[in-house]
Amino acid sequence: MRKKSEFILITGCAGFIGMHLVIRLLKAGYNVLGLDNLNDYYDVSLKKARLSHIEAEKGEFNEWCFIEGDINEIANHLADYDVYGVVHLAAQAGVRYSLTHPEAYIKSNVEGFNQVLKYCSARNLDFFIYASSSSVYGMADKFPLKENQMTHQPESLYAATKIMNEMMAGIMKKTNGLQSVGVRFFTVYGPWGRPDMAPMLFTNAIMNGEVLKVFNNGEMERDFTFIDDIVTGITSILENFDKFENTAVVNIGKGNSDKLVDFISYLEEYLGQKAVREHMPMQKGDVVRTWADVSQLESLTGFEPKIGLKTGTKLFVDWYKLYHKC
């Protein structure tokens, strides 16, 4: 039994995945320490609203502490806390933003990740789990995507930093014995999602009667994974970490691919409005298709995604209408 003073650390706790994971862990009885720098890459008010939502949902029988701070100073921020496990979600996100702001990705995703590794390697942690991305697979032509496929041709600097994270974690295991699991997330969507991601961008465009840009002439497919399934996948790794001794990275996805145009159609149905579509060529840094093989995670933990795209889209739209009062 863990002492009351001991915490699981979630970096990026005010982020989309971070908020949902914190709430899930608190409701399961864990004590959670959150770290987030609340940067202005997107609207800070949404991040603060997520923190308020954690307070409203956390329950009474566990401890929740939030620290506003940067991961590059992680050791200083956590000097007074007893941390026994880390889920590292903090990162500079966004594929296209990395094309114009490379320095932000180096500072957060490389230098910051290094500081987190140093912090974790200096302690005898029960587990270290960190966020990777399906973008590491690049412009793959073999599906579904398996963890043992080559990841040496990224399409963006963001993807390159995630590949570097996986390499850095592997080297730290060899040199310092730090066991870790990198989690390759596939197209996460759902309530409280990021405003720079397709679900929010598309919904805003439809609701406001604005042109919805559909890239690659609509010939795009994604393994849309609902946020609840993502969090279930992370917690399944946390609770079975001893089974991952020989597993460095793992996919978390729905396990099949959906057409982007079908996702837009579901949005139209649940919003009750038609989109004004404009077909556009492929964007730099983007990929045509993603589709995760999730058999490795299933075999190690029993993980099974539950939410299909149509159901998940309705849940997202219901939240959107409530949050935006429309």
Name the residues annotated as catalytic: 158
Cβ count near 139 (within 10 Å): 11
Calpha distance 322→326 (Å, rounded): 7
Task: List CB contacts of 248: < 8 A, sequence separation 6 or more.
Answer: 166, 169, 170, 173, 180, 181, 182
Q: Which burial class, exposed, middle or buried, applies to 126 when counting CB atoms under 10 A from its CB (0-12, 13-18, 19+)?
A: middle
43: helix, strand or coil: coil
**Do the beta carbons of residue 172 and residue 321 sit within 8 Å?**
no
Cβ count near 251 (within 10 Å): 27
With residue 263 as reference, give the H or E element that holds it: helix 260-271
DSSP 282: P
